[in-house]
Copies of this chain bind each other. A is one copy, B any other.
Amino acid sequence: MLQKNRLGRVQEKMWKLGFHQMLVTDPMAIYWLCGKMIVPGERFLGLLIRTQENTPGQKDVPESTQNDAPMTAPAVLIVNELFRFEEELGMPKVYYSDTDDVTAVIKPLLDPSKRLGVDKTMAARFLISLMEAGAAAGYVNGSLSVDETRAVKDNAEQEKLRIASRVNDAAMEQFKGLIHAGVTELEVADQMLAIYKSLGASGHSFDPIVAFGDHAADPHHMPDHTPLQEGDTVLFDVGCIVNDYCSDMTRTFYFRKEPDEETRTIYNLVRKANESAEEMLRPGIEIASVDRCARDIITEGGYGPYFTHRLGHFIGLQDHEYGDVSLANHSLEQAGIVHSIEPGIYKPGTAGVRIEDLVLITPDGHEVLNHSPHDLIVLG
């Protein structure tokens, strides 16, 4: 069903960005806006959004849009008839077939005297074809209207993200039990899905990272046939999907032996970077300042060059959504944003440590969605 509140927030951003018709083509953004997931493959799928430009200030989403004509409704779904469905979405649907010219189907729905916003992933074949047909007065990348709105989660989304991270915490407890001498990274990784499913998740939110020993010093290591040995680091970077929403957490453990002094120093530095960054989170602070806080701690500890990535990423229906926690993001934290905080130090031959939580920005501050402890733990 069309999420009128979300649609209204997108229309508000369209006003601010200065365009009044927009084609959203990202299937996940369409799902977020109208609750219907369609994976159209190479075929066109679009949600056309209109503001009521001639009556600025007027509420953009009328009470009932159900019976509005496709020519005037604030939202219209354009979809191939192969994906025809009966469900009422509270907005008109326009179907086309494989023998139709989809551009000729879209064009009459657009106002050729106005600019058209398109989302950042719209395929060139559709965009160029609309341009060649003179469907609009100009074309702008209008993704921010959707992306910045999706970044701020409503209450229902926050609760789903909370639950997904709770399942991830419970799974992490069980993952520790998969560890024994000689087990390989892949053998551990291959058992994770069943554990997630037993806890109510529908699947992984990304391919799990299981890294033993020096592999932990590669932030994107893929699990392989390396067997676990006494003294190894054991890094799990894992997440699952529950009710469509993603979790994502990293913990770094040690197998059967306290790590050496430098590794302990590195661990404590990463932990301090994680916890200090989390502590400062509240609406209104610059997102770059959060990355800077964590980075400064690691740099002052002498490991700056070994923290080689941004501090975090936004998350929701997808594991990586629009929004960086990096020095380049000068926008402000807002209540409802959910992102990771995942400082790491990767010094090959010495140690690799990452500690990652998801955090929700609340009106008063923040809520850390993960509760697995940050302590240095020796397993086995």
**Are A128 and B118 also in contact (CB < 8 A) when A99-B328, A328-B99 are?**
yes
**Are A121 and B124 also in contact (CB < 8 A) when A99-B328, A129-B141, A141-B129 are?**
yes
Whether A120 is near chain B, meaning CB under 8 Å from some CB there, is yes
Whether A123 is near chain B, meaning CB under 8 Å from some CB there, is yes
Could you say which residues of chain B place their CB within 8 Å of the CB of A139? Answer: 124, 128, 131
Could you say which residues of chain B place their CB within 8 Å of the CB of A129? Answer: 141
**Are A120 and B125 also in contact (CB < 8 A) when A99-B328, A328-B99 are?**
yes
Could you say which residues of chain B place their CB within 8 Å of the CB of A131? Answer: 139
Could you say which residues of chain B place their CB within 8 Å of the CB of A140? Answer: 128
Interface residues of A in 17-66 (CB under 8 A from B): 41-42
Contact among B98, B122, B124, B143 with A141 in the assembled complex (CB-CB below 8 Å): B124
Is the CB–CB distance between B125 and A123 below 8 Å? Answer: no
Is the CB–CB distance between B141 and A128 below 8 Å? Answer: yes
Copies of this chain, whole number? 2
Contact among B41, B99, B124, B328 with A120 in the assembled complex (CB-CB below 8 Å): B124
A193 to chain B, nearest CB (A): 11
Whether A342 is near chain B, meaning CB under 8 Å from some CB there, is no
Number of chain A residues close to chain B: CB under 8 A? 22
Whether A280 is near chain B, meaning CB under 8 Å from some CB there, is no
Whether A127 is near chain B, meaning CB under 8 Å from some CB there, is yes
Is the CB–CB distance between A121 and B128 below 8 Å? Answer: no
Is the CB–CB distance between B125 and A127 below 8 Å? Answer: no
Interface residues of A in 179-218 (CB under 8 A from B): none
Contact among B42, B98, B127 with A127 in the assembled complex (CB-CB below 8 Å): B127
A376 to chain B, nearest CB (A): 30
Whether A119 is near chain B, meaning CB under 8 Å from some CB there, is yes
**Are A124 and B122 also in contact (CB < 8 A) when A99-B328, A328-B99 are?**
yes
**Chain A interface (Cβ < 8 Å from any Cβ of B):** 41-42, 98-99, 118-125, 127-129, 131, 139-141, 143, 320, 328
**8 A-B contact pairs sorted by A residue (CB < 8 Å):** A42-B320, A118-B128, A120-B123, A120-B125, A121-B125, A122-B123, A125-B141, A127-B128
Q: What 7 A-B pairs have minimum CB-CB distances, sorted nearest first?
A: A120-B125, A122-B124, A128-B141, A118-B124, A125-B141, A121-B123, A124-B127
